[in-house]
Amino acid sequence: MKKQNKRKRDRVRPGDFRANNARTGHYSYITKIEKQVENTLAEFIGITSKPKTFNVKNIKLHKNPNPKTPNRPAYIHPKKDSVKLTSRTFGKRKKGWSFAKEDKTIINKIKKD
């Protein structure tokens, strides 16, 4: 009898950087996973390269979290957003991505709001 390989699941967890397929494919920082009775919601902070999104001014980061483009400017949205979590909502986890120490205070302030 042949053993069946168990497929490793790529679970979305708080603290992950992922491409947000539900919102134009821009990258997002997952802040919270909230399980409700009918569905599961994921709260995230959007990351972009533009200073404004839908006429809302974004917050500039000291350092780009993407290690492949450290000299390119990066911005985050000033408020958290949420989306229904499905298997297709987010892409694969980005390895090596992290916020600079100076940016973590801004991220923690947005997480609390």
The burial of 98, by beta-carbon neighbours within 10 Å (0-12 exposed, 13-18 middle, 19 or more buried), is given as middle
Alpha helix stretches (DSSP H) within the chain: 101-112
Confirm whether pTM is higher than 0.85.
yes
Q: Let me know: does 34 contact 13? Beta carbons within 8 Å.
A: no
pLDDT in tens, the chain (113 residues): 566 666 566 789 999 999 999 887 889 999 999 998 888 999 999 999 999 988 999 999 999 999 999 999 999 999 999 999 988 999 999 999 999 999 999 999 999 88
Q: How many residues does the chain have?
A: 113
Quote the CA–CA distance of 37 and 7 in Å, as a whole number.
27
